[in-house]
Amino acid sequence: GAAVRLVGVSKRYADHQPPAVDDVHLEIGAGEFMTLLGPSGSGKSTTLNMIAGFERLTAGDIIIDGVRVASLPPYKRDLGMVFQHYALFPHMTVAQNVAFPLEQRNVGRPEARRRVADVLELVGLEHLGDRLPGQISGGQAQRVALARAVVFEPHVLLMDEPLGALDKKMREQLQGEIARMHRELGITFVFVTHDQEEALALSDRIAVFDRGRIAQVDTPRELYARP
């Protein structure tokens, strides 16, 4: 079944502007790696933010794991989110940052400690738990953000240009890590990028955005074969 369903989803920020997202229909399968690809301003982030619950819909419905989520705040949706600029708490250590979603959900301390250790190992940062965000590299910070986004075992991970702030070498490394995380966790990934190569390398399917609409949804192979 579908992990995430968008049904006629539209977003209009202002009456005198064209809609940022215009009647989007999309079904994202459980465990699928789906990429929203398109140029700047085509509505990818707005779509992701509506799935996350950061933006209200003007029209349509979003269904996550069979639940209509329109009235649910972000933290009650079964998803983790990673942003371009990490958004780590600067005064908290790496381990405390990763533990934060567990504390919000009242997970007990022994269980929290175990899970934090597990996800730090998943992203290869088990040795940096006591550092502050200001004492690690950008690539490491994005790994911490990834660990924090999956530590409470959501069924869906949303990523908005997670590699966009990194240099080329880091980007290639992180791309490999994200592919490996997808294989190991087996959960649904929804990934936003304007970089076609990134999309082709990572995705099971790609939804191509154009001026607020989805122009096509295809596998990388199908997309690549087209003129």
The residues of the shown chain that bind ligand ADP, judged by CB under 6 A, are 13, 20, 38, 40-46, 95-96, 99, 109, 112-113, 116-117, 129
Task: Compute the least distance from the CB of residue 21 to ligand ADP, in Å.
Answer: 7
Annotate 52-119 with DSSP letters as a single string: HTSS--SEEEEEETTEE-TTS-GGGSSEEEE-TT----TTS-HHHHHHHHHHHTT--HHHHHHHHHHH
Q: Which is nearer to ligand ADP, 67 or 111 (CB)?
A: 111
Task: Compute the least distance from the CB of residue 39 to ligand ADP, in Å.
Answer: 7
The neighbouring-strand residues paired with 160 are 192
Q: Which is nearer to ligand ADP, 42 or 175 (CB)?
A: 42
Q: Which is nearer to ligand ADP, 42 or 188 (CB)?
A: 42
Q: Give the DSSP H/E element, type plus range, for residue 144.
A: helix 138-150
Task: Compute the least distance from the CB of residue 46 to ligand ADP, in Å.
Answer: 3
Per-residue DSSP letter, 157: E
Q: What strands, in cross-sheet order, belong to the sheet with 156-160? A: 79-82, 156-160, 188-193, 33-37, 205-210, 213-218
How far apart are the C-alpha atoms of 188 and 185, rounded to whole Å? 9
Check: CB of residue 38 under 8 Å from CB of residue 75: no
Task: Compute the least distance from the CB of residue 100 to ligand ADP, in Å.
Answer: 8
Task: Compute the least distance from the CB of residue 1 to ligand ADP, in Å.
Answer: 27
Task: Compute the least distance from the CB of residue 192 to ligand ADP, in Å.
Answer: 6
How far apart are the C-alpha atoms of 92 and 125, rounded to whole Å? 16
CA dist 185 → 4, 27, 38, 88, 123 (Å): 17, 20, 27, 22, 12
Q: Which is nearer to ligand ADP, 45 or 203 (CB)?
A: 45
Q: Which is nearer to ligand ADP, 30 or 92 (CB)?
A: 92
Q: Which is nearer to ligand ADP, 31 or 124 (CB)?
A: 124
